[in-house]
Amino acid sequence: MTLGEKLKKARLDANLSLRQAAKLMNLKSANSIFRWEIGERVPKLENRKKLAEIYKIDIMDLIE
């Protein structure tokens, strides 16, 4: 499973939309999260930590 697939699964398991996740991340739009999920971009470690916290998963699940 790719990092993007893990991110999308974790978001869906947390019952969050792209927009909701972006708001919790204090992002202006959901584009960054969408790009991370499709593998177009890779989130920095600090963003992975915040995503793990929001999605209530272990940060190690987001480390490749």
Give the type of residue at 63.
I
Mean pLDDT over residues 3-18, rounded?
Answer: 98
The CATH number that domain 3-62 falls under is 1.10.260.40
Retrieve residue 13's tokens. Answer: 């398991």
Model pLDDT for residues 21-33, shown as the tens digit of each residue: 999 999 999 999 9
32 vs 63, higher pLDDT: 32
Domains of the chain, residue spans: 3-62
The pLDDT value recorded for residue 13 is: 98
- Its pTM stands at 0.92
CA terminus-to-terminus distance, the chain: 10
Q: What is the mean pLDDT of the chain?
A: 96
Q: CB count, 10 Å around CB of 55? A: 21
Model pLDDT for residues 39-55, shown as the tens digit of each residue: 999 999 999 999 999 99
How far is it, in rounded angstroms, from Cα 53 to Cα 40? 22
Residue 13 DSSP label: H
Residues whose CB falls within 8 Å of the CB of residue 26, separated by 6 or more in sequence, listed in order? none
